[in-house]
A = this chain, B = another copy of it.
Amino acid sequence: MASKRSRTNGSAPSVADVARRAGVATSTVSRALTMPGRIAEATRAKVLKAAEELGYKPNLAARNLRLGASKTVMIVLPGGLFVGASQVISEVLLGIDEALVREGYSLLIANLDRFAETEEHIMDIALGGTIAGSIVLASQLPQVGDRSLADAGLPIVAGLFDLSPWGVSSVVSNDREAMRQAGEHLLGLGHRSFLYISGPDGVFPPREPSRQGQGPKGNYHEMERFAGLLEAVREAGLPDDAVIRSPGSFDFESGIAAADRYLSLKHRPTAVLSCIDDSAIGFIKTVTQAGVRVPTDVSVIGFDGSRVGAFTSPGLASMRQQTDEIGRAAARLLLEQIGGSGDEAPAVVVVPCELLSRESTAPPRQ
């Protein structure tokens, strides 16, 4: 055991150990391992052999310090709410992972929750020089006091949320347009009265207005999608109150609450649109148990295109987000920023949703 190790202490082998064993200088070892060109093939082989025998792996902290750069990307997630039927966050994360790992990057995940403590931790890391860039899958940039992540001088890209007003390149779905299409789909089937299950109204956690003077007034996805629905309704010549808006918060329970509301109405809408599949699924289950037939009595369409939606009864029509493409595009944008000069204008990439036709929509009964 000890015979195999030329170093004395029990710590990991360093370039010095390899150099000693190969009978060369440390700089030669470094060259042999990183620069393919300027080195004699014989010594190169000698060094590689010594490194192999010692099980040498370069110390990343030292390398990062020396180079002033690392191959780690910080992914900022919006905290707990990514466990449900809709798994947009996880899916985007997989797309990002695929694209970045291929380029030799590692992913540091930071879960942005309600605790200011966490946010401070995130800023420490961002400003700690260990990060090559960051992808934010949250509605707001982490910030502490008056410093936001944008001030860290790091390449940043936003995914799912459009943060371009804050100077951050973003990759988003065509949320507004997509929900308009969902509305048009139902209008095309003949529906004229709607129940809309919303996302959250406020922003969590509540914040002071940012230095730019205007933070978003509400949840980005909720605002965009509801606006899209209203566009469709108005274009069809209907009044805004053709849509009843049931407040929600991106979960199953919101669907149950909306169902209770629906069941209590004297004049029930013939179609329901939800800001997220979870709520639509909660709605369907609840009204079905009350004897309402979907889609005979009421059509339902969700948003996100959850895979499990194919297995509810009836299968849930939905606007599918191309999460894999969103993830890949965000990664691509980040890599460009990392490689680039840093003074490009923020780009906005829009990835279209696609209508997933399943059994939950039909023409209204006359």
Interfacial residues, chain A to chain B (CB-CB below 8 A):
11-12, 55, 57-62, 64-65, 68, 70, 72, 80, 82-85, 87, 90-91, 94, 97, 101, 104, 106-111, 118, 121, 123-125, 127-130, 147, 153, 252, 278, 281-282, 284-285, 288, 307-308, 310-313, 315
Cβ 8 A contact of A281, one of B82, B108, B124, B308: B308
Contact, CB under 8 Å: A101 / B83 = no
Give 10 CB contacts A-B under 8 Å. Answer: A11-B68, A55-B127, A59-B129, A61-B65, A83-B90, A83-B94, A106-B110, A282-B311, A285-B312, A285-B315
List the B residue with the shortest CB-CB distance to A306: B308
Cβ 8 A contact of A101, one of B55, B59, B106, B111: B111
Contact, CB under 8 Å: B108 / A72 = yes
Contact, CB under 8 Å: A61 / B57 = no
Contact, CB under 8 Å: B90 / A310 = no
Contact, CB under 8 Å: A125 / B111 = no
Which of A308, A310, A313 has the most B CB atoms < 10 Å from its CB? A308
Contact, CB under 8 Å: B124 / A310 = no
Minimum distance in angstroms from A30 CB to a CB of chain B: 15
Contact, CB under 8 Å: A12 / B285 = no
- Per the bound structure, the CA–CA distance linking A61 and B70 in Å amounts to 9
List the B residue with the shortest CB-CB distance to A255: B311
Contact, CB under 8 Å: B84 / A307 = yes
With A108-B106, A310-B252 already in contact, the answer to whether A60 and B94 are too (CB < 8 A) is: no
Minimum distance in angstroms from A204 CB to a CB of chain B: 16
Minimum distance in angstroms from A124 CB to a CB of chain B: 6
Contact, CB under 8 Å: B59 / A252 = no
Identify 15 new A-B residue pairs, CB closer than 8 A, beyond the known A60-B130, A83-B94, A285-B310.
A12-B127, A60-B125, A60-B128, A62-B129, A83-B91, A83-B307, A87-B90, A90-B90, A97-B111, A104-B121, A252-B308, A281-B311, A282-B311, A284-B311, A285-B313
